[in-house]
């Protein structure tokens, strides 16, 4: 029961993380626009957006792994 509540709270935090990612991505995209789309600006933008994407994807995989472990423990009990 506690784990189900924890996963629901994680889903809400994931939603907030998505909003944070959009807020962080906007200045990167605007900076690339202001730089005129030079190769360096595109590379820096790609790296910045890749880091933001990882901060969203890694918790998603962790939540899936935690759910599998929890269901395995519930089945064993």
Query: How far is C-alpha 49 from the geometric centre of its chain's CA atoms?
Result: 11
Delimit the domains of the chain by residue range: 2-76
Any idea which residue has 């962790």 for tokens?
62
pLDDT for position 77:
66
Task: Tell me what the mean pLDDT of segment 57-73 comes to.
Answer: 82
What is the C-alpha to C-alpha distance for residues 42 and 29, in angstroms, rounded to an integer?
9
Q: How many CB atoms lie within 10 A of CB 61?
A: 9
Confidence at residue 15, expressed as pLDDT on a 0 to 100 scale:
77
pTM score over 0.75: no
Phi, psi of 5 (to 5 degrees): -65, -40
> Which tokens go with 18?
């998505």
């Amino acid at each position: 029961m506690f784990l189900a509540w924890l996963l629901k709270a994680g889903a809400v935090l994931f939603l907030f993380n998505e909003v944070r990612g959009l807020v962080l991505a906007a200045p990167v995209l605007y900076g690339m626009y202001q730089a005129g789309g030079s190769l360096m600006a595109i590379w820096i933008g790609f790296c910045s957006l890749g880091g933001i994407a990882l901060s969203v994807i890694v918790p998603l995989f962790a939540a899936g792994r935690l759910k599998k472990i929890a269901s395995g423990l519930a089945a064993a009990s």
